[in-house]
Amino acid sequence: MENNKKVLSSQIVLKNVNRSDHKFLYELLGERKPIENISHKKMPIYREHVKFVNSRPYSRWYIVNYRNQKVGTIYLTKRNEIGIHIKKGYQGHGLGKYAMNLLIKKNPKKRYLANINPKNKKSIKFFTKQGFKLIQYTYEMIPGNFRHG
């Protein structure tokens, strides 16, 4: 992996997610540890995954291509939240940073957010390095776990 800024940034392309990306996205999801996820705790079955992708859950969802290879995914929600995952083996080389710069350039907004599992130190470090600031902690209560008194 090269660290030359000009070569790296010019070789990254964002392509809209389409039906041919189901398998890649599923494999990428399988790489993630539960600690990295904020939206789900277990791996969905493939059919559930395809249904989710086809539902077009994000305002913008891209495959990150580097040298014509699929190396990750990045999305923007309707609330301007950025989510990103780069394949193992490609992490730590600046691909995420350049992909986020491209996403922001293609989708200019007044501000961007990132919801991160507080235990996901890698993502916290990544977003902090990109200039994101912590603005809140969010807690969850599941009704069956409610404690009285």
First to last CA, the chain: 57
Q: What is the pLDDT of residue 35?
A: 67
- Structural domains of the chain ordered from first start: 5-145 (3.40.630.30)
What is the tens place of the pLDDT at every residue in 63-116?
999 999 999 999 999 999 999 999 999 999 999 999 999 999 999 999 999 998
Q: Is the pLDDT of residue 117 over 90?
A: no
Kind and range of the H or E element at 13?
strand 12-16
What is the tens place of the pLDDT at every residue in 16-35?
999 999 999 999 999 987 66
Which residues on adjacent β-strands are paired with residue 79?
A: none
**Cβ(62)–Cβ(17) below 8 Å:** yes
The pTM for the full model equals: 0.86
Three-state SS letters, 51-92: HHHHCCCCCEEEEEEECCEEEEEEEECCCCEEEEEECCCCCC
